[in-house]
């Protein structure tokens, strides 16, 4: 599918169209209201916008979905970030007594950025990605999704393509949103296996006993390793990259001839896991703990645009993870173009228009609009995610009312 | 002791009920009356204990043999409860276990009053109390651990035998020191992961569906979490009721100084007067002076001047190492005169100040040399000042350079900088002592610049002359609370300490 050449210079024209007719406001509002269980949850949420010419504004907040729409259509943000739910309306934070304005809740989030893997990928570097290294994201998603669900007991995870070189995870469970800074950082550290920066050569060190979490993660990595590392990344393909691999081996066995992938006799306890360590160093997810730690940390919003690539930050359907292609994600130019294509069913709409009020009409139009574009399937993924949360909330309320003998 | 708004009726007030376990969560405040002397003594001794906990926590690996031995000794010598049964016979002349537990209880609550006031104080207090609690809990026999959990209504959900069996391999793989038999025989507890963050963070526990599966021997981590939460809340509450307590004139001075308390020898009584000659000072500054005084001495030599803060800190130190008034006057005059001050001006302006230090002017108070605590916490230096504690007040880069100039090895410098980063300034200075004297262990806990000097001289002279003096003063310091009725020496000691606390904040 052609992505329709995207030109950042067109943003000023495309964005207004996007916010007027395509951005899924009603689902977005539904998400952030979380069923209206907590009072003022949406109203006290911070948004931040990056406007044209890199003007950055924080502490934006809105009282209704309508206000959100109007403001976004007026300000036409190039980037949108979502922050925490505060104790008061963020837009009024200056009027609040100093010290009382506090971030209370926020989703637990993770940010996986391909640049963090530059030391282990040969195909690209920095902001570039390709189909060969994208596998790293697939591995990261599988490992983290399993751990967050099975180990930590979370249920409502929204995985989103960042629009350029990574993925984000929004853990939206009630319990997740209420986590303290210490808890968030503990979760992030539990999930971290790669330690060390530029000066560290051997970034993964395993010792007995191997925690079940590591074993689970290894089994994921092993599924992809051969195809990814040996074939696609070709890590044994040049002397330089072979040397890099050998550099990860503990010093005492370098004197032995090494054949990777074959059985090696265990010489001493410290050597037992070198093969696992190498696989993990090449493939295990690298997360930025600082992103996950802060309750007030701002993260790129789903369905926002990435100004450099024009791509929309779309939710990822984990059922189709193996076939997800970041280069197939629609750009704003594509969907705006799709919008302009003539429609077969235009006639009947005119009749219905007169009977509805402005907003409903607007919404209906918008729903029909995005359905005509490549955005449709991604909004569906989002819808299913919202449905699951709604069902679970209903289930909880029934449980509660049963306990209270409320019939 | 009565605290407004916190009275609780004691049901069943027999001695045994009140302190039926050697460990407690300090849930209920003490409800009796005690004398002011006991109040002071208890507080000071618990503070000594907590400071030892802090020192050992940084200088030894927690729970190593060295750590346990030293902490055990300190707990014993300060008469705090150990694992003994309540009914155990009194060691002749010693204190009963009941009395130790009572002291533990009361002293904890007194220190709460002193340490609830700022975020820093609270954090310090909670950290040391937690370390102490962890040590004492781990020291308990398994039966007593379970007793403790029951008595405090700590109901942690236990995992059923079937679940244990099905998860056995996973449990063994996640927890250090766990074997198949242990899993079968002992309880495994299931708590929400949010209550076991320390274990989660380091991946030392098995997680399933949001729950952490904790083996019996690790339960201390969970209990500690509980302890921390309760203490934190309690301190916040205490801070709120503090104004009422502070209005009590008898308590206010003590409490407001306890958090800055120095609880050791004060070097006010001059020993070795005249033993040091002025010519020796340059050499001594390189060998036996702590970094702060070496720094001050160098600045004085280079600039032929020191500002007030520096004169006080250094001047009193010199008095402490044994300079007589005449020597001091000669020392300062000869230096200042090399600078912009002529002899006349010195006699008019600065001599007075030196005599004042020696108690020969004005109030005639014989000022005591500053302890590390005072140097670190009061009167931070500004531009043009050379006083203060270099480990606290110097920019780490400059400190690094200085240490390198003084020939401290790079690895030693790094160790020092790590301690500085952790805000363990006195330990950093102690490390400096160890590196410059080429010893593994300083053998003392640094609290006072003059102590540094004395210990250094002791080490360098093979421990002869000065040792006798040091021993005597240390012995009198070690026995403050082994008597239930405060003896003359004891109360005088405590009183002296309190008196000196006042003087800490009374610069001329």
- Compare CB distances from A190 to B200, B208, B210 and report the shortest one's residue: B200
pLDDT of residue B262: 54
Alpha-carbon distance values, B289 to B198, B403, B408, B454 (Å)? 41, 14, 15, 9
Q: Which residues of B touch A210 (CB under 8 A)?
A: 173
CB contact under 8 A, A152 and B210: yes
B22 annotated among ligand-binding-site residues = no
A348 noted as active-site residue: no
Query: pLDDT at position B497, please?
Result: 38
Contacts of A180 in chain B (CB under 8 A): 194
More confident residue, A264 or B433: B433
d(CA B152, CA B142) in angstroms, rounded, equals 16
CA-nearest residue to B209 within chain A is A153
CB-based contact B203 A151, cutoff 8 Å: no
pLDDT of residue A385: 98
Lowest mean pLDDT across A167-176, A206-215, A217-226, B218-227: B218-227
* The total number of residues written for chain B in this structure: 508
pLDDT for B271 equals 65
To the nearest 10 degrees (0 to 180), the angle between helices B119-139 and B36-59 is 80
Q: For residue A369, which of A351, A334, A343, A395 has the smallest C-alpha distance?
A: A343
Give yes or no: A345 in active site: no
The set of residues, in sequence order, having a beta carbon less than 8 Å from that of A100 and lying 6+ positions away, is A87, A88
Burial letters B90-103, b for 16+ CB under 10 A, else e:
eeeeebbbbebbbb
To the query of whether residue A340 is one of the catalytic residues in this protein, the response is no
Non-local CB neighbours of B274 within 8 Å, separated by 6+ positions: B322, B324, B327
Whether the CA torsion B248, B253, B254, B258 is positive or negative: it is positive
Give the best residue of B171, B200, B228 to mutate against chain A (max A CB count within 10 A): B200
Distance from CA of A175 to the nearest CA of B (A): 10
Find which of B126, B169, B170, B193 to mutate to test the A interface (most A CBs within 10 Å of its CB): B193
In A, which residues are within 8 Å of B197 by CB distance? 182-183, 186
Residue B202 with chain A: CB contacts under 8 Å: 189
Rounded to whole angstroms, the Cα distance separating B481 from A287 reads 54
Closest in B176, B194, B208 to A151, CB measured = B208
Question: What pLDDT, on a 0 to 100 scale, did the predictor assign at position A203?
Answer: 84
pLDDT at A270 over 60: no
Which residues of chain B fall short of a pLDDT of 70? 1-17, 58-59, 83-94, 259-272, 362-366, 463-508
Structure tokens at A268: 């001493």
**pLDDT at residue B306 in the model:** 92
**Contact in structure between A365 and A21 (CB atoms under 8 Å):** yes
pLDDT score of B410: 92
pLDDT at A269 over 60: no
pLDDT at B492: 39
Question: Is B384 in a helix, a strand, or coil?
Answer: coil
Mind telling me how many Å the CA of A218 is from chain B's nearest CA? 15
Taking contacts as CB-CB distances below 8 angstroms, the residues of chain A near B176 are: 209
Q: Which residues of A touch B172 (CB under 8 A)?
A: 209
pLDDT at A119: 85
Of B170, B201, B211, the CB nearest to A190: B201
Write the secondary structure of chain A as one string of H (helix), E (strand) and C (coil). Answer: CCCCCCCHHHHHHHHHHHHHHCCCHHHHHHHHHHHHCCCCCCCCEEEEEEEHHHEEEEEECCCCHHHHHHHHHHHCCCEEEEEEEECCCHHHHHHCCCCCCCEEECCEEEEEEHHHHHHHCCCCCCCCCCHHHHHHHHHHHHHHHHHHHHHCCCCCEEEEECCCCEEEEEECCHHHHCCCHHHHHHHHHHCCCCCCCCCCCCCCCCCCCCCHHHHHHHHHHHHHHHHHHHHHCCCCCCHHHHHHHHCCCCHHHCCCCCCCCCCCCCCCHHHCCHHHHHHHHHHCCCECHHHHHCCCCCEECCCCECCCCCEECCECCHHHHHHCCHHHCCEHHHHHHHHHCCCCCHHHHHHHHHHCCHHHHHHHHHHHHHHCCCCHHHHHHHHHHHHHHHHHHHHHHHHHHHHCCCC
Q: Which residue has the tokens 């949360």?
A: A389
Confidence at residue B11, expressed as pLDDT on a 0 to 100 scale: 36
Q: Calculate how close chain B gets to A370, using CA atoms only, in Å.
A: 37
Residue B79, helix vs strand vs coil: coil
- Residue A151: which of B198, B202, B207 has the nearest Cβ? B207
pLDDT average, residue stretch A325-345: 86
The predicted pLDDT at position B120 comes to 72
Max intra-chain CA distance, chain B? 92
> In this predicted model, what pLDDT tens digit does every residue of A283-312 receive, in sequence order?
999 998 889 999 999 999 999 999 999 999
Cβ–Cβ of A179/B194 closer than 8 Å? yes
User: Taking CB atoms and an 8 Å limit, are B197 and A183 in contact across chains?
Assistant: yes
Would you call B197 and A186 a contact, using CB atoms and an 8 Å cutoff? yes
Across A184-210, average pLDDT: 86
Distance from CA of B154 to the nearest CA of A (A): 22
Contact B117, B259 (CB under 8 A): yes
Considering only CB atoms, B194 lies closest to which of A183, A185, A209, namely A183
Distances, alpha carbon B165 to alpha carbons A296, A321, B158, B187, B323, in Å: 42, 35, 13, 12, 74
Distance from the Cα of B16 to chain A's closest Cα (Å) equals 40
Confidence of residue A163 (pLDDT cuts 50, 70, 90): very high
- Calculate mean pLDDT across residues A397-407: 77
Cα separation, B226 vs B148, whole angstroms: 13
Q: Is the pLDDT of residue A72 over 80?
A: yes
Contact B172 A209 (CB under 8 A): yes
For residue A180, the chain B residue with the least C-alpha distance is: B194
- Which of A113, A173, A338, A369 is catalytic? The answer is A113
Q: Which of A69, A81, A105, A111 is catalytic?
A: A111
Residue B338: its H or E element:
helix B325-338
The pLDDT of residue A251: 63
Q: Give pLDDT, residue B114.
A: 87
Record: contact B197-A154, CB cut-off 8 A: no
Q: Please enumerate residues of A whose Cβ is less than 8 A from a Cβ of B.
A: 150-154, 175, 179-180, 182-183, 185-187, 189-190, 209-213, 215
pLDDT of residue A390: 96
Q: How far does B397 lie from chain A, in Å, by closest CA?
A: 21
Q: What is the dihedral of CA B352, B357, B358, B360, to 10 degrees?
A: 40
Residues of chain A with Cβ-Cβ distance to B200 below 8 Å are 186-187, 189-190
Contacts of B174 in chain A (CB under 8 A): 209, 211-212
Chosen for mutation from A211, A289, A292 (greatest number of chain B CBs closer than 10 Å) is A211
> What is the Cα–Cα distance from A55 to A44, expressed in whole angstroms?
23
β-pairing, A55-60 with B157-158? unpaired
CB pairs under 8 A between A and B: 53
Report chain B residues whose CB lies below 8 A from the CB of A153: 193, 208-211
Model confidence pTM above 0.80: no
Task: Check A151 against B197: CB less than 8 A apart.
Answer: no
pLDDT(A159) > 80:
yes
Residue of A nearest to B211 (CA): A152
- Greatest alpha-carbon pair distance for chain A in Å reads 83
Length of chain A: 407
Residues A151, B194: C-beta atoms closer than 8 Å: no
């Amino acid at each position: 599918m052609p992505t329709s050449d995207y030109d950042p210079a067109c943003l000023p024209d495309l964005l207004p169209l996007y916010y007027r007719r395509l951005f899924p406001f009603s689902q977005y509002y539904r998400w952030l209201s979380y069923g209206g269980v907590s009072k003022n949850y949406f109203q006290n949420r911070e948004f931040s916008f990056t406007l044209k010419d890199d003007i950055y504004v924080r502490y934006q907040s809105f009282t209704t979905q309508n206000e959100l729409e109007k403001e976004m259509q007026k300000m036409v943000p190039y980037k949108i970030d979502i922050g925490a739910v505060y104790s008061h309306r963020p837009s009024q934070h200056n009027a609040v007594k100093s010290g009382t304005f506090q971030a209370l809740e926020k989703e637990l989030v993770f940010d996986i950025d391909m640049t963090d893997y530059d030391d282990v990928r040969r195909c690209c570097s920095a902001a570039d990605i390709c189909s060969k290294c994208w596998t790293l994201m697939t591995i990261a998603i599988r490992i983290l999704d399993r751990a967050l669900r099975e180990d930590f007991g979370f249920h409502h995870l929204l995985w989103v393509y960042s629009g350029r070189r990574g993925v984000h995870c929004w853990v939206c469970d009630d319990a997740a949103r209420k986590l303290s800074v210490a808890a968030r950082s503990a979760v992030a550290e539990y999930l971290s296996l790669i330690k060390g920066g530029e000066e560290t050569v051997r970034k993964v060190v395993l010792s007995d006993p191997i925690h079940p979490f590591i074993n689970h993660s290894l089994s994921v990595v092993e599924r992809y390793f051969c195809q990814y590392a040996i074939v696609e990344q070709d890590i044994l393909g040049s002397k330089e990259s072979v040397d890099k691999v050998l550099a990860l081996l503990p010093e005492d066995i370098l004197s032995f001839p090494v054949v990777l992938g074959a059985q090696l006799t265990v010489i001493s306890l410290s050597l037992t896991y070198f093969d696992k360590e190498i696989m993990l160093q090449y493939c295990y997810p690298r997360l930025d703990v600082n992103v996950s730690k802060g309750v007030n940390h701002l993260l790129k919003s789903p369905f926002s645009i990435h100004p450099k690539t024009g791509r929309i930050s779309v939710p990822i359907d984990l059922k189709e993870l193996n076939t997800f292609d970041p280069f197939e994600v629609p750009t704003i130019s594509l969907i705006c173009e799709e919008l302009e294509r003539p429609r077969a069913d235009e006639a009947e709409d005119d009749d219905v228009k007169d009977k509805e009020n402005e907003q409903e009409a607007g919404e209906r139009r918008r729903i029909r609009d995005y359905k005509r574009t490549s955005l449709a399937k991604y909004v569906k993924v989002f819808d299913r995610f919202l449905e699951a949360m709604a069902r679970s909330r209903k289930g909880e309320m029934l449980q509660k009312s049963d306990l209270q003998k409320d019939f | 002791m009565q605290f407004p708004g916190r009275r609780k009726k004691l049901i069943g007030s027999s001695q045994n009920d009140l302190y039926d376990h050697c460990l407690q969560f300090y849930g209920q405040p003490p409800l009796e009356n005690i004398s002011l002397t006991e109040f002071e003594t208890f507080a000071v001794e618990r503070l000594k204990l907590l400071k030892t906990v802090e020192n050992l926590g940084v200088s030894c690996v927690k729970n190593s043999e060295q750590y346990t031995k030293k902490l055990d000794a300190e707990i014993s010598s300060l008469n705090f409860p150990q694992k003994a049964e309540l009914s155990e016979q009194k060691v002749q002349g010693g204190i009963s276990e009941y009395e130790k537990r009572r002291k533990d209880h009361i002293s904890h609550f007194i220190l709460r009053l002193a340490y609830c006031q700022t975020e820093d104080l609270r954090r310090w207090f909670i950290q040391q109390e937690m370390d102490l609690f962890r040590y004492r809990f781990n020291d308990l026999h398994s039966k007593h651990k379970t007793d403790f959990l029951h008595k405090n209504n700590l109901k942690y959900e236990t995992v059923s035998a079937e679940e244990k069996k099905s998860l056995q391999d996973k449990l063994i793989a996640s927890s250090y020191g766990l074997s198949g038999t242990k899993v079968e025989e002992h309880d495994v507890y299931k708590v929400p992961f949010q209550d076991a963050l320390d274990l989660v963070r380091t991946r030392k526990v098995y997680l399933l569906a949001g729950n952490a599966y904790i083996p019996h021997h690790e339960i201390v981590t969970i209990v500690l979490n509980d302890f921390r939460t309760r203490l934190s809340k309690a301190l916040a509450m205490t801070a709120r009721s503090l104004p009422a307590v502070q209005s009590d004139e008898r308590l206010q001075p003590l409490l407001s100084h306890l958090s800055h308390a120095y609880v050791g020898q004060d070097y006010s009584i001059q020993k070795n007067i005249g033993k040091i000659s002025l010519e020796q000072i340059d050499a001594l500054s390189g060998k036996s002076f702590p970094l702060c005084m070496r720094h001050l001495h160098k600045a004085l030599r280079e600039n032929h001047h020191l500002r007030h803060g520096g004169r006080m800190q250094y001047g009193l130190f010199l008095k402490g190492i044994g300079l007589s008034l005449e020597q001091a006057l000669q020392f300062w005059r000869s230096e200042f005169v090399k600078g912009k001050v002529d002899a006349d001006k010195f006699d008019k302006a600065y001599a007075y100040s030196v005599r004042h230090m020696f108690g020969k002017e004005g109030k005639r108070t014989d000022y005591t040399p500053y302890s590390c605590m005072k140097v670190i916490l009061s009167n931070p230096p500004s531009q043009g000042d050379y006083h203060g504690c270099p480990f606290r007040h110097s920019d780490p880069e400059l400190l690094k350079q200085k240490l390198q100039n003084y020939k401290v090895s790079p690895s030693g410098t790094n160790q020092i900088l790590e301690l500085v980063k952790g805000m363990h300034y006195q330990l950093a200075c102690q490390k400096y002592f160890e590196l410059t004297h080429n010893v593994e262990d300083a053998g003392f806990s640094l609290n006072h610049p003059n102590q540094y000097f004395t210990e250094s001289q002791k080490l360098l002279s093979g421990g002869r002359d000065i040792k006798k003096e040091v021993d005597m003063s240390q012995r009198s310091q070690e026995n403050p609370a082994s008597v239930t009725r405060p003896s003359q020496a004891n109360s005088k000691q405590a009183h002296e300490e309190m008196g000196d606390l006042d003087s800490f904040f009374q610069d001329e």
